[in-house]
Chains A and B, each alone.
Chain A
Amino acid sequence: MWTAIKNEGPPIHYKRKLFENEDPNFKGSFAVDFVVPPFSETDDNLPPRTVNFTEEEFENIGSLDTRPMLVTLHGLSGGSYEIYLRQVLAPLVTIGGEREWAACVVNSRGCAMHKITSNVLYNARATWDCRQTVRWLRKTYPNRPLYGIGYSLGANMLTNVSLSEPSGIIYLNSFSISLRKVRHVCSEQLLSSQVHGTWMLEIARFNELGLEEKYIPKPWVPA
């Protein structure tokens, strides 16, 4: 429903980094959008409020801070610009102080104006780009507790990511919204209802997720 409402949603500014997948089976680039403080530059080749990192900026991106970090996977054919996703990010990344979350969005290949660079596409079990991102985040931000959130198809992918990491190593604490558990049943339901849209829950109820109290933000209120 929220995707059908023509509301601007909260502004979230991103800087983009293109990564090359290290696994030859999944060659090609993918775009990760990192939430950054507001800026005024624009780039017509990218979604609104999104520009590329300069090499210099990206070189110094690492940190030993202990802020929690959220990895976001969007829904089918969406991207980091989606309103539902920004509504969830807004209260987390504007909370201020040491409670403020860091966040990034792993865009599915070809989405959010990413130009695909190989014939490897994405599908509902495309865990390769997210897994590499999580490994990179672990290395770059060794002290940050990592959380993942996925919406719809992204929820399905995130659940598969949670599994595909080696057992005993906790990479992500995951929340999945509108999880597509049994996709062939979903497809039948989609056909029977003929509703070609997805209903999203607006904001995850973080206080029920066992998060540390200090990370819980006040809900974002639409203007």
Chain B
Amino acid sequence: MKKLIDLHYDELSKGSKLDFAKIRQAKYLHEFDRDVQGPTWGYPTETAYYRDSSSVDSLLAVRIPLFAISAKDDPVSQTSEPSLVQWKLISPDCSR
């Protein structure tokens, strides 16, 4: 992600709200999101960005056939309790 920012520095730096020195120091993805997505879209924190961009609200309102699969041992999006609860909002048959 940092490489992408560097690659597009010329265009991005025009009238930019971004602090490029800070972005280059980011080590983790949430730090990158804090320094890039926050100022770009006006989110106060990276967690506000994550919450706002989550598709869980859309899932509840989708009116076309949608098939979603997720690996049980996905290191990012595991079938942990909170997400299982979210799935059960959609289907009572949802299981691990």
Contact = CB atoms under 8 A, between A and B. Distances in A.
Given A189-B76, A198-B76, A163 B62 contact: yes
Given A123-B37, A156-B53, A181-B86, A175 B76 contact: no
Interface residues of A, number: 56
A64 B65 CA distance: 24
Contacts of B41: 123
A119 to B, nearest CB: 6
B72 to A, nearest CB: 10
Interface string A113-127: 001111101011100
Contacts of A156: 53-55
B35 to A, nearest CB: 13
A11 to B, nearest CB: 25
A187 interface: yes
Contacts, number: 164
B51 interface: yes
Nearest to A121: B40
B26 interface: no
Nearest to B62: A162
Contacts of A117: 11
A187 B64 contact: no
A191 interface: yes
B78 A181 contact: no
Interface in A166-221: 167-168, 170-187, 189-191, 193, 195-199, 201, 204, 208-210
Nearest to A180: B77
Contacts of A199: 71, 73-75
B92 interface: no
A159 interface: yes
Contact of B77 (A110, A162, A189): A189
B16 to A, nearest CB: 6
A123 B40 contact: yes
Q: Which 5 A-B pairs have the closest CB atoms?
A: A124-B53, A159-B55, A163-B58, A183-B50, A184-B50
